[in-house]
Structure formats: structure tokens, C-alpha cells
Amino acid sequence: MKTLNPRVSGTHGETIHAAFDLEKVRQEFPILDQTVNDKPLVYLDNAATTQKPRQVIQAITEFYETVNANIHRGVHLLSQRATDRYERSRVLVQKFLNARSSREIIFVGGTTAGINLVAESLRRHGISSGDEILISGMEHHSNIVPWQMVCEETGAKLRVIPLTPKGELDLDRLDNLLTTKTRILSIVHISNALGTVSPVKELVKAAHRKGALVFVDGAQSAGHLKVDVQDLGCDFFAFSGHKIYGPTGIGVLFGKEEVLRELPPYQGGGDMIESVSFEKTTYNVLPYRFEAGTPNICGVIALGEAIKFVEQIGREFIEAHEAMLLEYATAAIQDVPGIRIIGNASKKAGAVSFVFDEVHAHDVGTILDQEGIAVRTGHHCAQPVMDYFGVPATVRASFGLYNKVSEVDALISALHRVREVFGL
């Protein structure tokens, strides 16, 4: 990829707020250069998955054309090359998260796989009927169901930090919910349904005072904010590659080394062992003891390219650009008669969710698609959030580093088209 030279930021609505050349960035994403229903594609479904830059796509092709071999097991050249690239990506992730050591970086299938790994390992480590697990009312299903399963199997109690009408965590209830019985607080960093940014650092400190571990679901934050796990202080942090411009089927689980050493492996198989006999098996060192079987080698390598792409642009520029888009979109959507925004937290990132009081979200999404605009409609795998706000579904527009103000304008125009179709 050619260097994307920063330039002076301008006023939003006219030029790009973030200090990078947006048109050059967009040229790196081949999928954006197409029409949908004879309209230019406006892709505003980035919270579900982001598009991939050329260097990520090329890394996948190059791997299978020139390097494809299994890792950690071969003395031949291709295996050594594949192993080297795989482990280089681990170091890239370590630096991306500012983890202390590459031993704290475990490659998994995605955020969901990371949550399940920690939940099952903690269950095996001795969660019991006297313990409590604390989550919040804005969690994605993947940060609810695994903990429910642990509670069903052990008799532990699941407790929930409620929401406020603004879509924020009700921290006034925290003292009553976070106790010495709490084994782990598992909390979302940015809500995929609301865009709310949780005060993770504050929550980590409160949990640690009670002796609890903290898991942070970073699926929506890793590609939008600068994440420093040492600064956050969390014990675990997970994110998915496909939400930060990398491929699907690959993700990362960060775990503090001293915590990971105490946990039993989640799965058994090749590469996670040191020695095997029918009498006894001894496990491999970190991080390999949690990476059983042949991993998604190509996915890990391509994830490394995605991280390089993001770092080359600069996360501070990305955050500023997306904040400008969110502010602009929020104000414009509020000006459309009949629309109600769901979630008005004081600190948001990445997404805005809304409803037409007289039109179902799926009908809105269908009309937007006819205008070439891709948004997400439904409960966003966050049914408790929908239940809290008393809506069956919302329309969610979510932003990425390649989106531009004119695309928000196209969204607003299409929303007025919805009003015309339904005679509002």
C-alpha cells in the first residue's frame, strides 16, 4: 500500500476532519467501488463487519500461493516461513494492545471464541455455587450466554448492571452488585447496539478492589479507539479481526500472563502439549497451551496486515474522523421527523441506532437498500437492550475509517424517502 499522507483537517461537512486523505484510503478498498440497485454503495454496517483493504486481500492470496504450510511442526522452508509470519503477527498484536509480552496474546476464532475460552477455563478452575458473575444490561449475546452456561453448570449466580434511559451503565448500582463473591466482571467496551462507551478503567479498578477478574469485550473498540490493556488494567481483552479490517474467522484474546498461568486449557489437541503418554499429558508453555490444533494461519497473517494498515493511518486520526461522522449523523438523523434515537450516552463511538415510530426497522432497511445504503436492522444480538427500550428492533448506522460526510447525507436523503413511501 502506498503511504497515506496526513493533511490538515478541515470543517466537517466539507472536508475530512481526521488528518488523512480519505479518497486515498477509500481507493485501498476495492469493494467500495460498486453500485447497489444502480446507486453508489454506501456501506454503513461496519459494526457487523468491516471491509478489507488491498494489502489484507493480497496477504491472503500470497499466503496460499507461496507460503502455505503448517506451523511449529516442520523443518522445511515453507513451514519455517509460515511460522515466522504467524509469530510476527503475534508481536504486532502485542504492540497494538500494548501487552507486556507476546505470551499474553492468544489467537482464537473471534471475540465469541475468546469469551467462551475464558468462561470454560474459569469453570474448570473452580467457579462454584457460592460465586457470582457480573455482566451489564448492554451486552451482546456472546457475552451473556457463555456465562449463563457456566452458572447453569456450577450454580453460580449471574448478576447484571442495569442501564439508564440514556443507554449508559447505572453505576450507582455498582456497589451493591460488585461484591467479594464476584469472580469475574465481563463487560463490553463499546455497545454494538447503542455505541455507548463504558468507563472500563473505572470498572476495572472497582472490580479489582473486590478481588474479581475483569474481561473486556473489545469487539467494537479495537478498530475505533486506541486500546492499551496495561492502562485499562483488565485481565482479559478480546477482539475480532473482521471488525478491524481483517479477515473473518480470526480474533485475539489477551490475558495477563500471571492469570493465564493459573487457568487450565480450554481444548486439547496438537501444539498445546509438551508431552503425551497414556498415563499423563503435560501442557505447552504460554500462549500455545491455549491454541490447540492447526490454527487459522492465513487469518493470523492477514490480521497482522490489517493492524499495520490501521497503524499506518493512525488510530487517533481514525477516532477523530469517526467522531466527526457520528456527531454529524446524529444531528442530521434527529432532524428527520418521526425518528427517535435509541441510546444517547454522553460518550459514544462508532454507531447510531434509531427507530421510526411508525415503520418497522426491517422495512426501513429494505428501502435504504434500494437506495444503495447498507445498514443493519434487528436486535443486533442484544435482545435485552431492545427489551429495556421497549422496541423490537432498531436501524443501526455504523461507521468506519473510509466513510464520508456525503454518505451520511445519502443516508438522510434515503430516510426521507422512507417517509414518502409510508406517507408520513
Stretch among 8-12, 319-323, 333-337, 357-361 having the lowest mean pLDDT: 8-12
Same domain, 295 and 318: no
What's the domain range around 321? 22-49+314-421
Span 324-334, mean pLDDT? Answer: 97
95 Cβ contact list (under 8 Å, min separation 6): none
Asked whether the predicted pLDDT for residue 4 surpasses 50, the reply is no
pLDDT band at residue 18 using 50, 70 and 90 as cut-offs: very low
Same domain, 97 and 169: yes
Strand order in the sheet with 251-255: 105-108, 251-255, 236-240, 213-217, 182-188, 132-136, 157-161
Q: 17 in a domain, yes or no?
A: no
Same domain, 289 and 388: no
Q: At what angle do helices 315-334 and 297-313 cross, to 10 degrees?
A: 80
**Cβ count within 10 A of residue 402:** 22
Asked whether the predicted pLDDT for residue 262 surpasses 90, the reply is yes
Same domain, 303 and 344: no
Same domain, 297 and 370: no
181 Cβ contact list (under 8 Å, min separation 6): 130, 131, 132, 157
Span 266-277, mean pLDDT? Answer: 80
Alpha helices in 12-132 (DSSP H): 22-27, 54-62, 77-97, 111-124
- Among 274, 289, 311, residue at a domain's last position: 311
Coil/strand/helix, residue 85: helix
Number of domains in the chain: 2
pLDDT band at residue 13 using 50, 70 and 90 as cut-offs: very low
Stretch among 9-13, 172-176, 266-270, 390-394 having the lowest mean pLDDT: 9-13
Q: Distance of CA 174 to CAs 88, 166, 324, 343, Å? A: 41, 17, 32, 20
Q: Distance of CA 240 to CAs 223, 249, 346, 361, Å? A: 9, 8, 26, 26
Q: 13 in a domain, yes or no?
A: no
Same domain, 224 and 296: yes
Q: 235 in a domain, yes or no?
A: yes
Which class for 211: exposed (0-12), middle (13-18), buried (19 or more C-beta within 10 A)?
exposed
Q: 9 in a domain, yes or no?
A: no
- Among 311, 336, 364, residue at a domain's last position: 311
Q: 361 in a domain, yes or no?
A: yes
Q: Which residue has the cell 408520513?
A: 424
CATH code assigned at 212: 3.40.640.10
For residue 6, cis peptide bond before it (omega within 30 degrees of 0): no
Asked whether the predicted pLDDT for residue 277 surpasses 80, the reply is no
Asked whether the predicted pLDDT for residue 223 surpasses 80, the reply is yes
pLDDT band at residue 335 using 50, 70 and 90 as cut-offs: very high
Asked whether the predicted pLDDT for residue 91 surpasses 50, the reply is yes
Which grid coordinates belong to 199? 468507563
Max distance between CA atoms of the chain, in angstroms, equals 74
Asked whether the predicted pLDDT for residue 367 surpasses 80, the reply is yes
Asked whether the predicted pLDDT for residue 331 surpasses 60, the reply is yes
The one-letter amino acid at 116: N
Q: 15 in a domain, yes or no?
A: no
Q: 132 in a domain, yes or no?
A: yes
Give residue 260's pLDDT.
96
| Residue range 371-394, pLDDT digits in tens | 999 999 999 999 999 999 999 999
pLDDT band at residue 286 using 50, 70 and 90 as cut-offs: confident
Same domain, 324 and 249: no
**381 carries an active-site annotation:** yes
Span 150-161, mean pLDDT? Answer: 97
| Residue range 297-315, pLDDT digits in tens | 999 999 999 999 999 999 9
Which residue among the candidates 151, 234, 298, 381 is catalytic per the annotation? 381
Give residue 20's pLDDT.
67
Give residue 9's pLDDT.
38
Same domain, 414 and 306: no
Q: 344 in a domain, yes or no?
A: yes
- Among 311, 330, 348, residue at a domain's last position: 311
Question: What's the pTM?
Answer: 0.93
pLDDT band at residue 65 using 50, 70 and 90 as cut-offs: very high
CATH code assigned at 398: 3.90.1150.10
pLDDT band at residue 268 using 50, 70 and 90 as cut-offs: confident
Backbone angles phi, psi at 136, to 5 degrees: -125, 170
Stretch among 10-19, 190-199, 355-364 having the lowest mean pLDDT: 10-19
Same domain, 244 and 322: no
Asked whether the predicted pLDDT for residue 270 surpasses 70, the reply is yes
Distance CA 85, CA 71 (A): 10
Same domain, 171 and 289: yes
Same domain, 300 and 360: no
Same domain, 222 and 250: yes
- How high is the mean pLDDT of the chain? 93
